Structure 1
Amino acid sequence: MNERPPHTPKRPSRPFRSGGASQRRERPAGRPFGEWPEDVAILYGWHSVAEALRNPRRKLRRLMATENAMKRLVEEAVPLPFQPEIVRPSEIDRLLEPDAVHQGLLVECDPLRSPSLAEAAENDLILVLDQITDPHNVGAIVRSAAALKVGAIVTTARHSPAATGVLAKAASGGLEHVPFCFVGNLARALEEMKNSGVQVVGLDSEGSADLVDTPLRAPVALVLGAEGKGLRQLTRQTCDTLARIDLPGAIVSLNVSNAAVLALHIARRAIASKTAETTSK
């Protein structure tokens, strides 16, 4: 698991060559796949690219598509801001890691704008990630967060994966719906959210009560720690309360992405119940 790098290596200086209906990039010597500068996000795969194309907030720079992928884009009426480069699958293969499943689509685009902490705190349900660094896990969490209408994901600028590539593919389009709010100090950010009225609940196996039995009200922020390490000590101390997730089966622990979707579902139901209760009065 890697920290969020301060930058990514710059695009290889070798220029593109025109080649019929497509443009080809030679594989740079000694590098297994293409690399881009830090201000470029790379999205690949059907859901990631289709959702980006549907998102008016995304500023696209380049779109590569195979003939089959292009046909599907047209059939499903996905908006196209400009004409894609029609390429063979191998043209995209050489720009990505060997095991990347791109389904004939790749986009170069600008990263989405990150909301301020104050803007993130205005949402009824917020997710906070405490040094969860695996892009597959974070991507799966983003997908669940989008499904359960999380308003923002708060995490540190360091010790978090970049919102591109593998993470974006695992998020399956969720990046277009759940913004990341990057902060310098997580404990300070939690204090600021608490001061603005957000209930901050940390998920911890040593929590005093099951999350189902913990009184939750909007706005609420659920805080998850990395697998194995869990929440850091200062993060634990800063939360309003710590809650656990009790499981009835033989295996009593979940990976962090599964724990996230279960916790978010519990919180979303609690918020809906509180809203219904308030409305009926």
Structure 2
Amino acid sequence: MSDSTRKPRFRGANQQGRGKDRGQNRGPGGRPAWRDRDDQADGPVILYGWHTVTAALANPARRIRKLFLTENAARRLAEENIDTRVTPEMVRPQEIDRRLSPDAVHQGLLAETDALPSPDLDTLAREGIVLVLDQITDPHNVGAILRSAAAFDVKAIVTTARHSPEATGVLAKSASGALELVPIVSVQNLARALTQMNDLGFMTVGLDSEGTENLAGVALQAPLALVLGAEGKGLRQLTRQTCKVVARMDMPGAIKSLNVSNAAALALYIGSTRLGLMS
């Protein structure tokens, strides 16, 4: 390991702060966190935090470009016999702080990596559950959805190449390592992708408060694709029309709607229970 006083040469010290609304979330280097994937440069994916970085280190499909560690983090990795895979650069915590937003909890680890490849729809397993996200732009929500997806053994998440957050920074931290466990399929046109999934035998179920059936009463079949829309907008019209079923989730309390990440977790529980995946 290099000397602890050696400083990394981070490309730009711009902070990754939160904007006043979700459309202004900033990613590493000052980029909008929701920026269209088609517009991404060949820059690195930024991963930070213990679970996020150690999961990346354990994933052979993840190419690590650079790894920055504090002395405490390096000691903990050594104690837990975690292979860093590349020669890390030792830095002070403040060096990582300057790369991230003021409220980022990095725990002394930051990695620059390549993005993971996006599988094709026709390679998806014809079993279990797949989640489809219709222009959900908040990286915190998508990260939380990824974490729930990993807990329920979701086979993949399908999302649009445009109007979706980059799989980096805040999203990766919110996912707490799940980014390495759940493949993300990026598609250009969601309606066409849903049509293809229908043809492949998936039961596509859109979730909407105005759905004609209660999800708990729908005769669900595997492979199942649960389709979630953005908060506020919900499912787009063409998305609704392409789903085989549009269902709602009835709530017994005074508040009838849930945050989209909470709705995803509840829908996954209902779907997993109905498909017999919980036993």
- What TM-score comes out, normalization by structure 2 length? 0.86
Q: Is the Cα–Cα contact under 8 Å of residues 4 and 92 in structure 2 kept in the other structure?
A: no
Q: Is the Cα–Cα contact under 8 Å of residues 121 and 193 in structure 1 kept in the other structure?
A: no
Aligned to 2:267: 263
Matched, 1:145 2:149: yes
Aligned partner letter, 2:177 = G
User: Cα distance 1:209–1:28, how it changes in 2: closer, same or farther (>3 A)?
Assistant: closer
Q: 1:128 aligns with which of 114, 132, 135?
A: 132
Aligned to 2:210: 206
Instruction: Write the distance in 2 (CA, Å) between the matches of 1:120 and 1:78.
Output: 31
Aligned partner letter, 1:44 = Y
Aligned to 2:21: none
Instruction: Write the distance in 1 (CA, Å) between the matches of 2:141 and 2:100.
Output: 19
Q: 2:86 aligns with which of 78, 82, 105?
A: 82
Q: Is the Cα–Cα contact under 8 Å of residues 200 and 222 in structure 1 kept in the other structure?
A: yes
Q: Is the Cα–Cα contact under 8 Å of residues 203 and 243 in structure 1 kept in the other structure?
A: yes
Instruction: Write the distance in 2 (CA, Å) between the matches of 1:19 and 1:231.
Output: 53
Q: Is the Cα–Cα contact under 8 Å of residues 201 and 239 in structure 1 kept in the other structure?
A: yes
Aligned to 2:170: 166
Consecutive unaligned residues of structure 1, counting only runs of 5 or more, are 1-17, 277-281
- Higher alpha-carbon Rg: 1
Instruction: Write the distance in 1 (CA, Å) between the matches of 2:163 and 2:124.
Output: 20
CA drift at 1:20: 5.8
Instruction: Write the distance in 2 (CA, Å) between the matches of 1:79 and 1:22.
Output: 21
Q: Cα deviations across residues 78-129 of structure 1 (Å, max 9, x unaligned)?
A: 2221231111100111111222111110000110111001113634210000
Q: Cα deviations across residues 8-65 of structure 1 (Å, max 9, x unaligned)?
A: xxxxxxxxxx986422347858x44663953411100111001001111111011111
Instruction: Write the distance in 1 (CA, Å) between the matches of 2:185 and 2:4.
Output: 43
Aligned to 2:70: 66
Task: State the 4+ residue runs in structure 1 displaced beyond 4 angstroms.
Answer: 18-21, 26-29
Q: Is the Cα–Cα contact under 8 Å of residues 148 and 268 in structure 1 kept in the other structure?
A: yes
Q: Is the Cα–Cα contact under 8 Å of residues 63 and 105 in structure 1 kept in the other structure?
A: yes
Matched, 1:238 2:242: yes
Aligned to 1:156: 160
Q: Is the Cα–Cα contact under 8 Å of residues 186 and 235 in structure 1 kept in the other structure?
A: yes
Aligned to 2:117: 113
Q: Secondary structure at the match of 1:127?
A: strand
Aligned to 1:40: 44
Q: Secondary structure at the match of 1:272?
A: coil
Q: Secondary structure at the match of 1:49?
A: helix
Give me the identity figure in percent: 60
Q: Is the Cα–Cα contact under 8 Å of residues 117 and 181 in structure 1 kept in the other structure?
A: yes
Aligned residues: 257
- What TM-score comes out, normalization by structure 1 length? 0.86
Q: Is the Cα–Cα contact under 8 Å of residues 27 and 94 in structure 1 kept in the other structure?
A: no
Aligned to 1:49: 53
